[in-house]
Amino acid sequence: MEKQTPDLLLIEDNPDDAKLAIRILRKNNIASHLLHLKDGEEAISYLSSLSRSKAPKLILLDIKMPKVDGIEVLRKVKSNPELKSTVVVILTSSGEEKDIADAYRSGVNAYLVKPVEFAAYNDMLTKAGYFWMNLNQIPK
């Protein structure tokens, strides 16, 4: 049986944050096939093997991760001709101006700071996920 290509890639090192995001995304039918990667090193290894036809429609990417941070993962994605049109949304607890500026200089499509309250986080992630997965148009 052939493995299903993920349409959404969640790159998040915090297991509790990952579990919560996955629960929200699945509960709201945002992604039919979601893959969670635990750090930037794992993400770069996985992404470097992909062709454009196997690229996820959306990457939700944390910034502050061990081994390789999210900005470096973002740079690798956006410098790869096979992946550069892939939508990357930073999903992080960091609202630091330097992080935001670095992300946009590196080609991020959107930068979202995780709200502390569950209801606000659920609402933000559901709306953002719906927009990028269903409304936004990307080149084939």
- The three-state DSSP-derived secondary structure of 110-137 is EEEECCCCHHHHHHHHHHHHHHHHHHCC
- Establish if 138 belongs to a structural domain: no
- Average pLDDT (31-50) is 92
User: Is 118 a residue whose pLDDT tops 90?
Assistant: yes
Domain housing 70: 8-133
pLDDT of residue 46: 93
User: Is 1 a residue whose pLDDT tops 60?
Assistant: no
Q: How many domains in the chain?
A: 1
> Tell me, what amino acid is at 136?
N
Reported pTM: 0.93
Rounded Cα distance between 111 and 92, Å, is 8
The SS3 call for residue 42 is helix
pLDDT of residue 138: 79
Instruction: Say which DSSP state 49 is in.
Output: T
Q: Contact, 132 vs 58, CB < 8 A?
A: yes
CATH of the domain at 36: 3.40.50.2300
83, 87, 93 from 136: Cα distances, Å: 17, 9, 24
- pLDDT tens for 71-108 read 999 999 999 988 989 999 999 999 999 999 999 999 99
5/55: higher pLDDT: 55
Instruction: Say which DSSP state 13 is in.
Output: S
- Establish if 31 belongs to a structural domain: yes
Rounded Cα distance between 132 and 57, Å, is 8
β-bridge partners, 91: 112
- Short-list 34, 28, 39, CA closest to 5: 34
- Establish if 2 belongs to a structural domain: no
User: Is 3 a residue whose pLDDT tops 70?
Assistant: no
Q: What percent of the chain has pLDDT over 90?
A: 81
- Establish if 3 belongs to a structural domain: no
Query: What is the DSSP annotation of 87-103?
Result: EEEEEES---HHHHHHH
User: Is 53 a residue whose pLDDT tops 80?
Assistant: no
- Establish if 97 belongs to a structural domain: yes
The SS3 call for residue 54 is helix
- Establish if 1 belongs to a structural domain: no
